[in-house]
């Protein structure tokens, strides 16, 4: 098809205006110059893939590194391939950056969510041989070979790219990964790229493409390159992000992590648009007062039956506001309705967001992570330290499996377990994540019909006040179990490595109540009485909240007298070594959740919300199954 300029009629002009109205923000974010937008629209709507008229893939023999600093040194090797490839301009007239039609669509050969990658490679006809050929992995035959699947899943982190949708449900926002076609995948890296390249989601067609355009005029024979770390200005982080393609020495980089600077917390409160409250006097609830409760949460409205509380549909007359959504303007509430009690604290994200939790936990020991938190690195701000730590563990022959988690998603969404450093580094390009040491030696539970499986424990914590610190734990706790025996392999097997089954379709949800669990646990581990294990858990909760309340807001949880809160804390137990060389069960806090799903709590313990409200608002913990921790 010709790449000559296209004349637009009135109808096409109108279509183009709609296209721009829908996509201008995304086009600007991607850095695609406006001069190309009309031609891009024309090529998308007419399905014009004309890159083959201008470019070609050239094979060449890679020179030995001893031959000196050749120009290919900064460019990506094709893993497993002796012959390397690059993309060059093949059109005699070259390519002019000022020409409005100098923009090209690149097709995506494979688009997937990571948790479906193995299944697709095994089941989609032709996908495995195509990906193996594209990635230079040796593959002969038709049937999907497990070893080849593993190799492709290892190598794909040198080839794939990512985008995610900014709207929709939590599931719909999970990042999508894609591998460009044979042409797009052979465009090599350069620190001085000749072209720009970016993913583009065409909303009207619900299709994703990559877009290629020149950053300068190119002559016949010139190489097409792009910057694999486009927009990265920090030279050290740039070297780290290029590690999947270009080896680099991190000599002089420390693996030590310390608590971030105060500006880190100040930025968070600013980005959360949280207005801190003014100082108010604590309010004492009269003993005979019936408290009006406003809540849009059916779990509260259906289960709060205590006679001292009365539900109201009028927010302006409420004594207690129990909200599912985060409150932003505490200042206004503190000035206009200081005695209205709330179910959240200003700056509580310090414990409920994973990167903040790891940061604030470093106060306990004045630097390194406390024993009750897995080693954690923020991939946005601590990538060099993490890579150095990973390399040191590798040199010492220690287990190097890590779990990458989004800062602020729950239920195991967009969570990845791997020992592949390329895989972890590339996660930084999707949603903001922390990387935590994966528990290679967890305490397991023997499920008679299954075997030794992972399990986690959820406690409900009630924060009554910050100054003074008053923290309670509900004596009832909840258990979640994996459905397959634990082993350090097949990390994309959800039912082996994850325990959250109540949101997954078609999988078994194993229910064991806490009072049944304790004797079963003590029978399996007779040397570890549950009361002693629980005492260690409560000690960890205490240390965490002491650290989180040791500084004023925004560097700690704000001590607003009208605030109360419940948090669900999820934890596991791992085997560790005590001071005398004995095996001990060490609690590992995984996360804290604000406004947790309490459906199971209400189902099996109908008085759950009565107990919460009595403890938090009436100061009657002695009438409830709760333990005061601080």
The predicted-structure confidence for 106-140, as pLDDT tens digits, reads as follows: 999 999 999 899 999 999 999 999 999 999 998 87
Q: pLDDT at position 13, please?
A: 86
**Is there a contact between 225 and 76 (Cβ–Cβ < 8 Å)?**
no
The set of residues, in sequence order, having a beta carbon less than 8 Å from that of 495 and lying 6+ positions away, is 482, 483, 484, 501, 507
Q: pLDDT at position 71, please?
A: 43
User: How many angstroms separate the Cα of 11 from the Cα of each of 15, 18, 78, 532?
Assistant: 6, 11, 46, 75
Euclidean distance between CA atoms 625 and 19, whole angstroms: 60
H/E element, 594: strand 583-594
Taking only the tens place, the pLDDT of each residue in 141-170 is 777 888 999 999 999 999 999 988 777 777
Q: Per-residue pLDDT averaged across 493-519, rounded?
A: 85
Q: Strands 207-214 and 104-106, how do they pair?
A: antiparallel
In 323-434, alpha helices (H): 330-336, 349-352, 354-361, 383-396, 421-427
Q: Rounded to 5 degrees, what are φ and ψ at 352?
A: -95, -10
Euclidean distance between CA atoms 343 and 324, whole angstroms: 9
Phi-psi category of residue 388: left, alpha or beta, with phi > 0 → left and psi -120 to 50 → alpha: alpha
Euclidean distance between CA atoms 467 and 562, whole angstroms: 12
Q: pLDDT at position 73, please?
A: 41
Q: Token pair of 140, please?
A: 């002969």
Q: Per-residue pLDDT averaged across 602-619, rounded?
A: 95
Q: Rounded to 5 degrees, what are φ and ψ at 26?
A: -65, -40
- Kindly report which listed range (10-14, 119-123, 345-349, 592-596) carries the lowest average pLDDT score: 10-14
- Kindly report which listed range (63-67, 89-93, 324-328, 451-455) carries the lowest average pLDDT score: 63-67
Rounded to two decimals, the pTM is 0.88
**Is there a contact between 426 and 155 (Cβ–Cβ < 8 Å)?**
no
Whose CA is closest to 28, among 140, 196, 180, 185? 196
- Kindly report which listed range (140-144, 232-236, 252-256, 612-616) carries the lowest average pLDDT score: 140-144
Q: Token pair of 372, please?
A: 């009750």
Euclidean distance between CA atoms 237 and 281, whole angstroms: 48
3-state secondary structure of 485: coil
Q: Per-residue pLDDT averaged across 27-53, rounded?
A: 96
Taking only the tens place, the pLDDT of each residue in 291-321 is 999 999 999 999 999 999 999 999 999 999 9
- Kindly report which listed range (74-88, 132-146, 334-348, 505-519) carries the lowest average pLDDT score: 74-88
pLDDT > 90 in the chain, percent: 79
Taking only the tens place, the pLDDT of each residue in 188-244 is 999 999 999 999 999 999 999 999 999 999 999 999 999 999 989 999 999 999 999
Euclidean distance between CA atoms 613 and 628, whole angstroms: 15
β-bridge partners, 242: none
Q: Has residue 81 got a pLDDT over 70?
A: no
Q: Has residue 596 got a pLDDT over 50?
A: yes
pLDDT confidence band for 10 (50 / 70 / 90): low
- 354-361 and 530-548 helices, crossing angle to 10°: 90
Exposed/middle/buried for residue 47 (C-beta within 10 Å: 0-12, 13-18, 19+): exposed
């Amino acid at each position: 098809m010709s790449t000559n300029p296209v004349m637009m009629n009135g109808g096409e002009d109108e279509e183009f205006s709609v296209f721009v109205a829908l996509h201008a923000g995304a086009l600007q974010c991607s850095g695609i110059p406006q001069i190309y937008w009309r031609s891009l629209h024309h090529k998308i709507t007419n399905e014009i893939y004309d890159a083959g008229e201008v470019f070609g893939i050239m094979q060449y023999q890679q020179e030995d590194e001893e031959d000196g600093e050749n120009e290919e040194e900064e460019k990506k090797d094709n893993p497993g391939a002796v012959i390397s490839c690059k993309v060059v301009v093949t059109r005699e007239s070259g390519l002019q950056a000022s020409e409005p039609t100098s923009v090209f669509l690149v097709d995506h050969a494979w688009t997937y969510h990571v948790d479906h990658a193995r299944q697709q490679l095994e089941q989609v006809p032709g996908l495995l041989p195509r990906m193996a050929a594209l990635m230079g992995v040796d593959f002969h035959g038709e049937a999907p070979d497990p070893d080849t699947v593993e190799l492709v899943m290892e190598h794909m982190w040198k080839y794939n790219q990512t985008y995610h949708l900014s709207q929709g449900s939590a599931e719909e926002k999970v990042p999508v990964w894609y591998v460009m076609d044979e042409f797009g995948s052979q465009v090599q890296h350069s620190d001085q790229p000749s072209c720009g390249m970016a993913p583009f989601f065409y909303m009207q067609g619900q299709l994703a493409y990559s877009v290629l355009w020149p950053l300068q005029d190119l002559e016949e024979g010139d190489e097409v390159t792009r910057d694999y770390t486009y927009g990265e200005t920090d030279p050290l982080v740039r070297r780290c992000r290029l590690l999947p393609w270009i080896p680099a020495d991190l000599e002089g980089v420390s693996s030590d992590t310390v608590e971030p600077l105060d500006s880190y917390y100040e930025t968070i409160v600013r980005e959360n648009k949280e207005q801190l409250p003014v100082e108010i006097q604590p309010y004492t609830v009269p003993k005979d007062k019936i408290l009006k409760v406003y809540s849009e949460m059916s779990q509260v409205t259906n289960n709060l039956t205590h006679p001292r509380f009365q539900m109201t549909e009028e927010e302006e007359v409420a004594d207690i506001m129990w909200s599912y959504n985060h409150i932003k303007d505490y200042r206004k509430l503190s000035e206009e309705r200081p005695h209205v009690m709330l179910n959240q604290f200003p700056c509580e994200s310090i414990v409920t967001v994973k990167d903040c939790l790891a940061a604030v936990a470093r106060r306990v020991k004045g630097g390194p992570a406390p024993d009750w938190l897995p080693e954690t690195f923020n991939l946005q701000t601590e990538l060099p330290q993490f890579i150095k730590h990973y390399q040191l563990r590798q040199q010492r022959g220690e287990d190097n499996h890590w779990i990458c988690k989004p800062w602020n998603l729950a239920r195991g969404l967009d969570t990845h377990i791997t020992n592949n450093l390329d895989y972890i580094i590339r996660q930084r390009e999707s949603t903001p994540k922390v990387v935590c040491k994966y528990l290679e030696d967890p305490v397991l539970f023997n499920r008679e019909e299954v075997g030794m499986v992972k399990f986690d424990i959820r406690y409900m914590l009630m924060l009554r006040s910050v100054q003074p610190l008053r923290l309670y734990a509900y004596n009832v706790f909840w258990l979640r179990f994996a459905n397959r025996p634990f082993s350090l392999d097949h990390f994309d097997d959800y039912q082996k490595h994850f325990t959250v089954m109540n949101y997954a379709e078609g999988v078994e949800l194993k229910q064991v109540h806490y009072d049944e669990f304790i004797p079963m646990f003590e029978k399996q581990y007779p040397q570890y009485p549950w009361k002693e294990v629980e005492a260690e858990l409560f000690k960890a909760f205490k240390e965490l909240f002491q650290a989180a309340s040791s500084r004023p807001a925004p560097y700690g949880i704000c001590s607003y007298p009208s605030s109360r809160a419940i948090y669900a804390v999820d934890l596991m137990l791992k085997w560790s070594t005590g001071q005398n060389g004995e095996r001990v069960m060490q609690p590992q806090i995984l996360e804290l959740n604000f406004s947790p799903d309490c459906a199971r709590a209400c189902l099996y313990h109908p008085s759950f919300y009565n107990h919460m409200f009595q403890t938090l608002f009436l100061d009657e913990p002695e009438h409830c199954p709760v333990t005061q921790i601080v």
